[in-house]
Amino acid sequence: GIKPDEFMNNKKSHEVQVMSELVDSIANYCGIKQVIDIGSGKGYLSSFLSMQYNLKVYGIDSSSSNTNGAHERNRKLKKHWRAYQSRGKENLKSQSLEMANDRPVEHELNCKTINEELSNNASSLQNQGQVIIQDLVPSCGFTEMATLETNTETEADLGTGTQSHETKLSEEVLAVLNVLPVDAVEDFSSSHCNCGELCEEEKVQRKMTSLKTKARKSSESNLYLPLTSCITAETELSDIITDLEDCMMVGLHTCGDLAANTLRIFTAKPEIKAVCSVGCCYHLLSEQFENQEECHDQVWGFPMCQYLKDEGWCCGRNARMSACLALERVAVGQMLPTESLFYRAVLQVIIEEIYGVTKSDRHVGKTFSKSSSFIDYVRRSLKKLELDDSKLPDSCIMDYYEKYKHRMNELEAFNMLKVVLAPCIEVLILLDRLCYLKEQKNIAWSGLVKLFDPVKSPRCYAVIALKNQPCS
């Protein structure tokens, strides 16, 4: 099939490969062929889902330049597709033989590990109101999953050893998520697990998945259609997609409120059977309690769940900005851009003291990388902010630089503190979304999955959910 690293950078290639395999697995499980990619951008994920997995994909983005570019990029990719397809058939045959030989042993190991861990942890799971985050293989890098269990029926099952509907569904979901690394997900729904039965169930699930995949791929050729539209919580997808059918929604780094609105649309529309959403740009989230303004009709990005709404919870923009930082990258030696942060901090002092400006709708953007010196940086930035730089001589600019340069270490320490706290703020936002899904009566299963390697892709968590309706 297509080799995504030949058409994308390493980060995007990693994200598209991992997410598309999971999306295809969920689509197989639910028996659906239509995928709606929200905030599709340049269409990398949409194209890959369409060509590699023969899914019918609608990519929706608010930017016409993005959708036009995605359409042209997809046209060029199709030219290469036949060559990759014929070359990939031989590779696929050899890989299938290897997987067939290895799989039984892998299944036995998986079941043994799950069984042992469940037995060891059963006594500590009587309080089901807790959040469970388990990493069985830390070296994998992207192997965590979190679920919230509040169902009293499940609590009773822990005592009696019987399997509830939720327990059986969790086992099915484990099979769906089997595309993730080995031992990536541990199921805490039941204190008892029959290893032989679980292995057999997984084998049946795999066989059914394979048959569905073959049947689908022998039918219509792949389709990807980029569409331009601004998505809100009130968006009627049927107005945009005329042949809307049972489908799933996906979003790879949906920006700000778009991630929250994706989940709201998913819960409201019966046609959407599943969702897999990876959000980003937390600093652009709208917050209900940030400005203490009464706007009853507005739909906010945070908080989503009723508990945080009742508590009047607010993060604030500074905290949300911190949530965008990448702790794992810093941990492996990719240090913070201290000099650019220092430039921006001193610029802020200049525009406040010289120009009296404290707020602006304009942004400096990526000026630092284009600047040859601090003076050049300040003048470029002032032009972007539409401020007159002629009244500011070079000597004055350098005076500000000299005044504050000895405090660069303080700035670095402050930003390191923000990096350390970043995961706490990010997980609050993500668990708010997960709790919102748990509050909905039409959701059969929902979870928070660490999908990507956080060093390659810092915004690595996916919110995944499946509807109650029986899959067709």
Residue 160 confidence (pLDDT)? 40
Cα–Cα dist 270/276, whole Å: 16
Residue range 115-134: mean pLDDT, rounded? 36
423 located within any domain: no
Q: Which residue has the higher pLDDT, 94 or 415?
A: 415
Cα–Cα dist 319/422, whole Å: 8
Residue 159 confidence (pLDDT)? 37
Cβ contact 460:422 at 8 Å? no
Same domain as 391, residue 268: no
Same domain as 132, residue 257: yes
Q: Which residue has the higher pLDDT, 465 or 186?
A: 465
Same domain as 405, residue 285: no
Residue 335 confidence (pLDDT)? 80
Sheet holding 461-467, edge to edge: 131-134, 145-148, 443-450, 461-467, 272-280, 247-255, 34-38, 56-61, 223-228
Cα–Cα dist 322/289, whole Å: 18
Residue 347 confidence (pLDDT)? 96
Residue 132 confidence (pLDDT)? 32
What percentage of the chain has pLDDT greater than the value 70? Answer: 63
For 73-98, how does the pLDDT look when each residue is reduced to its tens digit (9 = 90+)? 566 555 555 555 555 555 555 555 55
Same domain as 176, residue 129: yes
Residue range 252-274: mean pLDDT, rounded? 95
Looking at residue 443, what DSSP letter applies? Answer: E
H or E element at residue 247: strand 247-255
For 352-380, how does the pLDDT look when each residue is reduced to its tens digit (9 = 90+)? 999 998 888 788 989 999 999 999 999 99
pLDDT of residue 128 exceeding 60, the answer is no
Which of 103-112, 227-236, 381-390 is modeled with the greatest confidence? 381-390
Q: Which domain holds residue 182?
A: 1-339+428-472
365 located within any domain: yes
Q: Which residue has the higher pLDDT, 57 or 117?
A: 57
Same domain as 432, residue 413: no
Judged by phi (left if over 0) then psi (alpha if -120 to 50, else beta), residue 254 lies in beta
75 located within any domain: yes
Same domain as 23, residue 171: yes
Contacts of residue 37, defined as CB under 8 A and 6 or more positions apart, other chains included, come to: 43, 45, 46, 49, 57, 58, 59, 60, 250, 251, 252
Residue 156 confidence (pLDDT)? 34
Residue 94 confidence (pLDDT)? 56
Same domain as 41, residue 63: yes
Say how many C-beta atoms besides its own lie within 10 A of residue 318's C-beta.
Answer: 10
Same domain as 287, residue 397: no
Q: CA geometry: angle at 251 spanning 245 and 254, to 5°?
A: 135
Cα–Cα dist 338/353, whole Å: 23
pLDDT of residue 270 exceeding 80, the answer is yes
Q: Phi then psi for 453, rounded to 5 degrees?
A: -70, 115
Same domain as 334, residue 199: yes
Look at residues 5, 4, 13, 35 and name the one whose alpha carbon lies nearest to residue 452: 13
Same domain as 364, residue 281: no
Query: Whole-model pTM?
Result: 0.71
Residue 19 confidence (pLDDT)? 95
Same domain as 333, residue 448: yes
